[in-house]
């Protein structure tokens, strides 16, 4: 794990104390020396150091009145967040702790509450999707619902879903028009939607140099936004152009923020990290349909558990002519297209 | 000694690495891992709150009811004359109450109002086997559209509401299709690709 430590050139947050003029002691209490005599890892050390620094800052702020207690609390949360581990290797207690920190931080910053779930994959579930290209009319209600559900950046107009207008009789996605804006459905065309296909053999996760993206047991490929370094290798590796990068700080109007969130899903991202469709992990792990499937007015989107032999998606796989995109790559997408 | 340990390693090398998904398709994985036991997610019924539905057939799944959604009902409020003519056509009614009925579907194929509505009381649906409840309109639509009905029962046509787990509640035919103009309308998309022509305008 030591190889994955963040670069430690950064100083502890300055809380306005330590100048000596306010009467607070800026010397570290003796407990640090005691702890340093024992064998501690770098991470433990900085964790301890951080909490002590934050503690001193809190005392200083309450004593000096220069900074509010809330600012000190936020600094403490920031510090602990900075030295937390990769979500993949966190225990359930650590997951809960980081989620509670993030919720509290949001509250301190915005004055509103969000609910961030750390719900694990449901055993016995492997999510799959089927898209009926005979039914889709190109209305793009799914795209709109996805943007709102997943707190996507409104300023850059980020969208996880692309709908391609295709000439009837063709199957070359490269010839499809993903930029159409006219009355739909247009005569002589059909519509084909793409998003992350949650590949069972995903190339994107293999190229990540820091282990910030992986496939969950229920088949959803996720990103730890707090571990991603923004190198965009995964974006290059995805043969379906399914990953998105935050070139700027994502902006979502305060009153449009979806407060039902998941750590691996639609919680607010930051500048410089990757994100992608998670089949609405914050909804689907509660048994709900993804926002795109719920919004579709034509019933072209079918979502369900591939491990349930009685599910709708299994019926489609067994009874309809299905295909996937770029099957020859061996990526094994869990997203099938079919026709009536 | 080294050679012997290498020999011992050989079978390990030969047979390792065959267990990851990269060596099998996801279809094989599904066959291998599937289970007839239903996954239970606690509290999933919560998401069905407020929906009215009733069991279909032997109760394997549920269909959203229709009668509680009808707004221009009963039909005979206006269509009180023989041949479905309406005696009230003036200010009592919104003028475009349902203009789509002027060109009801199937007319070109020889369908008339009385093929689905009772000639005496248009509020009553009738199929070939007798009266049909508005909540079981699939019995009427399915008379001709039997392929769609088969797909709808199985889940390839139509729409499951709210959840993928727990009770399966699906939309009725008339929940998505206007029975008098069942083809989806032509309209502008709800949103657009940010770099599209529409966005630049």
In a domain, A46, yes or no: yes
In a domain, A44, yes or no: yes
Query: A203: burial class by Cβ within 10 Å (0-12, 13-18, 19+)?
Result: middle
**Complex prediction ipTM:** 0.85
Domain range enclosing A77: 11-117
Residues of chain B with Cβ-Cβ distance to A305 below 8 Å are: 39, 164-165
Q: Which of A130, A140, A293 sits opposite B189 (nearest CB)?
A: A140
Closest CA to A305 of A52, A96, A98, A129: A129
- φ/ψ of A115, rounded to 5, equals -115, 110
| A239-269 pLDDT, tens digit each | 999 999 999 999 999 999 999 999 999 999 9
In a domain, A229, yes or no: no
Q: Would the CB atoms of A181 and B198 count as touching at under 8 Å?
A: yes
Instruction: Report the SS3 class of residue B45.
Output: helix
In a domain, A53, yes or no: yes
Residue A228 has pLDDT above 70, yes or no: yes
| B48-104 pLDDT, tens digit each | 999 999 999 999 999 999 999 888 788 777 777 777 777 766 555 555 566 656 667
To the nearest whole Å, the CA of A248 is away from the closest chain B CA by: 16
Residue A36 has pLDDT above 60, yes or no: no
- Window A:125-184, CB contacts with B under 8 Å: 125-126, 130, 132, 137-141, 143-144, 147, 156-159, 162-163, 178-184
Q: Which whole-number Å values give the CA distances from A107 to A10, A113, A253, A259, in the listed order?
A: 25, 5, 16, 11
Residues recorded for chain B: 201
State the pLDDT confidence band at B195, using cuts at 50, 70 and 90.
Answer: confident
Asked whether A62 and A69 are in contact (CB, 8 A), the reply is yes
Query: B123: burial class by Cβ within 10 Å (0-12, 13-18, 19+)?
Result: middle
Pairing of strands B61-64, B169-170: parallel
| A166-179 pLDDT, tens digit each | 999 998 888 999 99
In a domain, A206, yes or no: no
| B144-157 pLDDT, tens digit each | 999 999 999 999 99
């Amino acid at each position: 794990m030591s190889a994955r430590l963040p670069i430690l050139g950064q100083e502890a947050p300055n809380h306005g104390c330590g100048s000596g003029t306010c009467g607070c002691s800026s010397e570290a209490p003796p407990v640090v020396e005691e702890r340093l005599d024992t064998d501690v890892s770098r991470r433990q050390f900085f964790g301890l150091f951080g909490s002590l620094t934050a503690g001193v800052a809190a005392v200083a702020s309450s004593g000096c009145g220069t900074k509010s207690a809330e600012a000190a609390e936020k600094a403490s949360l920031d510090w602990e967040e900075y030295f937390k581990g990769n979500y993949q290797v966190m225990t359930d207690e650590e997951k809960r702790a980081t989620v509670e920190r993030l919720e509290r931080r949001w509250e301190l910053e915005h004055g509103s509450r969000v609910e961030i779930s750390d719900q694990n994959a449901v055993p016995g579930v492997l999510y799959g999707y089927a898209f009926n290209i005979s039914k889709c009319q190109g209305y793009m209600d799914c795209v709109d619902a996805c943007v709102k559900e997943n707190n996507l950046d409104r300023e850059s107009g980020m969208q996880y879903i692309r709908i391609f207008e295709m000439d009837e009789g063709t199957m070359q996605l490269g010839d499809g028009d993903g930029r159409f804006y006219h009355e739909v459905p247009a005569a002589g065309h059909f519509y084909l939607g793409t998003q992350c296909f949650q590949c069972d053999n995903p190339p994107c996760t293999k190229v990540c140099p820091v282990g910030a993206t992986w496939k969950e047991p229920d088949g959803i490929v996720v990103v730890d936004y707090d571990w991603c370094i923004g190198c965009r290798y995964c974006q290059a590796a995805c043969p379906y152009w399914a990953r998105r990068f935050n070139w700027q700080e994502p902006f979502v109007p305060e009153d449009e923020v979806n407060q039902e969130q998941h750590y691996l899903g639609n919680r607010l991202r930051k500048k410089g990290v990757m994100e992608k469709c998670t089949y609405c992990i914050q909804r689907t792990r509660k048994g709900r349909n993804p926002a795109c499937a719920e919004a579709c007015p034509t019933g072209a989107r079918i979502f369900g558990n591939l491990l349930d032999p009685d599910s709708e998606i299994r019926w489609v796989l067994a009874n309809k002519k299905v295909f996937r995109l770029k099957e020859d790559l061996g990526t094994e997408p869990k997203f099938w297209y079919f026709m009536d | 000694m080294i050679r012997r340990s290498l020999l011992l390693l050989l079978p390990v090398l030969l047979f390792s690495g065959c267990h990851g998904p990269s060596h099998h398709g996801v279809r094989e994985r599904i066959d291998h891992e599937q289970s007839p036991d239903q996954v239970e997610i606690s509290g999933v019924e919560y998401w069905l709150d407020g929906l009215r539905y009733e069991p279909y057939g032997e109760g394997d799944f549920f269909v959203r009811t229709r009668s509680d959604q009808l707004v221009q009902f009963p039909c005979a409020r206006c269509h009180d004359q023989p041949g479905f003519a309406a005696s009230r056509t003036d200010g009592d009614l919104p003028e475009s109450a349902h203009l789509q009925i002027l060109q009801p579907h199937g007319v070109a194929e020889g369908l008339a109002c009385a093929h689905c509505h009772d000639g005496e009381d248009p509020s009553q649906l009738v199929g070939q086997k007798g009266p049909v409840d508005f909540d079981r309109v699939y019995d009427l639509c399915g008379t001709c559209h039997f392929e769609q009905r088969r797909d709808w029962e199985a889940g390839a046509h139509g729409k499951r509401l709210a959840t993928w787990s727990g009770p399966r509640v699906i939309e009725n035919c008339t929940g998505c299709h206007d029975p008098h103009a069942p083809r989806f309308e032509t309209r502008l998309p709800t949103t657009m690709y940010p770099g599209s022509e529409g966005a630049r305008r």
